[in-house]
Structure 1
């Protein structure tokens, strides 16, 4: 049997990210699930640009504040105490809006814990591609 208590205040913040990020799964010795904690000031992203995962499911639980999530269909507002779930191949960009009055704190959980399945999503390229498939649409 294996058990661990992780003092999150002792986990280092990851460098080169658009907001504060702590990788908790490694500190807990977990290999099959990715758990990260984010704290984003107004105007900061959580943690990447517009992207999707090929195999990983993600869940974002908002600990405090309100997180915004841009998707191709709409932008969601996820309030404190709410969970936002993302299926594989579903583009999204999570962030704290610039006009927010406080930071947002989020616990992100992804499974399986894989590397290399993240793909950047270019909404402008996608729109061009869709227009190219419509009658009278542009092609490049």
Structure 2
């Protein structure tokens, strides 16, 4: 058995500085079969760096306080306090705080406590393709993201 208070878990943020408070609960307690992260999002902050999918994990978000907005392939979805939203592996999404009041919520992923970086695909603008297309990503030694266009192979780094 392992137990901790959420406030006792250290803060780890995204290399792209898209949120100020993310507490990796699964890492702190040594989870092996699913991921759990706690977030506090101020106005304009997001759970992740942008519109993306995990090909190896489903993701579930629970909004404890406030209202989160998710961009999905089917349009914008509002998730209110006490509501849950699920994304299957391969479904693109981007969740963020579109309002003025803080959002407190949790992100869960399964299977496994960590996703494989090579199983994440982000939809971002490619200067070579001149359109928004899928990009694979990997974490660099400097703590940034290396982005690789899945159409033309163009590579660039964000953060770190």
- Is the shorter-chain TM-score for this pair beyond 0.5, marking a shared fold? yes
The equivalent residue for 1:27 is 28
- Which of the residues 132, 140, 148 maps onto 1:125? 132
Question: What is the aligned-residue RMSD (CA, Å)?
Answer: 1.5
User: Quick one: distance in 2 between partners of 1:122 and 1:75?
Assistant: 18
Deviation at 1:47, TM superposition (A): 2.1
Residues 1-140 of structure 1 mapped to structure 2, 5 A cutoff:
3-15=1-13, 16=15, 17-19=17-19, 20-97=21-98, 100-113=99-112, 114-116=115-117, 117-122=119-124, 124-125=131-132
Alignment gaps of 5+ in structure 2: 126-130, 134-160
* Structure-2 separation of matches of 1:96 and 1:36: 16
User: Across the two proteins, how many residue pairs are aligned to each other?
Assistant: 122
Bigger Cα Rg: 1
Paired residue secondary structure (1:22): strand
User: What's the TM-score once normalised by structure 2's chain length?
Assistant: 0.71
Deviation at 1:84, TM superposition (A): 0.5
Distance 1:60 1:32 in 2: 17
The unaligned stretches of length 5 or more in structure 1 are 127-140
* Greater relative contact order (Cα < 8 A, sep 6+): 1
SS in structure 2 at match of 1:49? coil
Question: Structure 1 runs of 4+ off > 6 angstroms?
Answer: none
What TM-score, normalized by structure 1, do the two folds share?
A: 0.81
